[in-house]
Structure 1
């Protein structure tokens, strides 16, 4: 196959978004929304029932994500949102219902993540987030995403409740920590893959800490803003960003198709 044609086809088959500033903004928003919406759902229902429903929603979202052959913004971010909600609930069940200490659950998720990375690298010889275009790579990618969300939830609760940093201070500290991979990659040649996954993990407790600060009762350090209201506002903002990305991706796919047709025509 012609090199230009091969490159065009490979670019079209990538299943994840380009890592840009908008990517990180939406990622932090989904982590915050998942945290507060999970708490809101548990208030309205019960934690086990809400987790069951969220698990079903996650299965549907991931089913759609694996079915499509290319990156589709609303499907990808729906899957991320459902991972955020389910990951929060799963971590909460471990600590609140099963009584597992946060240090234990956090350590468990860290160990699980290390194992996932080892197996992923052993099978694929890379942990790159740029080349998610095969079912196997996509499986490892989403397994990593699920674990990082659960890890981030446990880690955020650990700093807020066990270390007694509270929600606001925890959020500020995680905001400082997330700057480390950005600075390291830009000015100190930090490995791009390590930088990405480091930042990806930190976005979870970052967003969750700030939404907890907004929505938790004042007696434990929150502003006591209604959880339903905070959830709704974040959902609207996320929807607006995803709508923008959908239009942008549609235009980009049109250009890719023209490029693909042009390469085909040139090879006739």
Structure 2
């Protein structure tokens, strides 16, 4: 029998940018805020212990994610949820444990993100998320994601707390900015890569603001649902969306079979 050889197929390791992508990303960042608060405060682990624990879990999740040759929803989104929590904790540690001002933190993570993008582009000649099919590109991708979450946390807290706009107003502000970016992209043809990363950064303070609005007690400007209820609400939504994504991805498995990859 003649064995048919096919060229290796390079599969993107991150999802396409769809409505479902933005919905689950918003849910993930919201849960990142409330879950970090629950573990550190309500569960009584403290900020340092929570940070070490979640960093260890994130490392495991990223090892599993890097082991995949293509985008697999459960692995990818588990890593996103965990990196959202860790990104929040990084900023919280700098502010609460080390006394770094939110303004300084925001500037520092802006510089760190800009340097990441610069090195990424210098090495790979692209910042597109549509060609994350090598380990170096995926490493740059996740490092950038970590800094977007840390930066988004700092900016969101800065606007809501230091500028005293409150959670609802802060959420509306960042939601409005994201709408402006969307209009600039669809109507005025803003660069797709720039539009994506700007929106990705700003969904963090948007989600965190509404997470705090739902979970914080009324005396702190919230609705008082608590971190447990809020976290479980968004976690269940994330699970439902991931299940939907797995079902939607099933035709791709047939395509993999056709290329002899399974």
Give the shorter-chain TM-score range: over 0.9
| Greater Cα shift, 232-241 or 246-255 | 246-255
Structure 1 position 218 matched with structure 2 position 218: yes
Tell me which residue corresponds to 1:266.
Answer: none
Deviation of 1:257 after TM superposition, in Å, equals 3.0
Equivalent residue, structure 1, for 2:49: 49
Q: Give the corresponding residue for 1:157.
A: 157
Which protein is richer in helix relative to its size? 1
RMSD: 1.3
- Residue 18 of structure 1, aligned match among 16, 19, 22: 16
Matching residue of 2:70: 70
Structure 2 stretches lacking a partner, 5+ long: 1-5
Structure 1 partner of 2:3: none
Name the CA distance, whole Å, in 2 between partners of 1:159 and 1:39: 19
Which residue does the alignment assign to 2:251?
251
Report the TM-score, using the length of structure 2 for normalisation.
Answer: 0.94
Runs of 4+ in 1 over 2 A off after TM superposition: 250-253, 255-258
The alpha carbon displacement at 1:251 in A equals 2.6
Q: Distance in 2 between matches of 1:80 and 1:158?
A: 23
Q: Which residue is equivalent to 1:139?
A: 139
Unaligned runs of 5+ in 1: 262-268
| 1:47-196 correspondence runs (5 A) | 47-196=47-196
Alpha-carbon contact 2:156-2:170 (below 8 Å) kept: yes
- Aligned residue pair count: 253
SS at match of 2:158: helix
> Does the 8 A contact of 2:217 with 2:226 survive in 1?
no
1:232 maps to 2:255: no
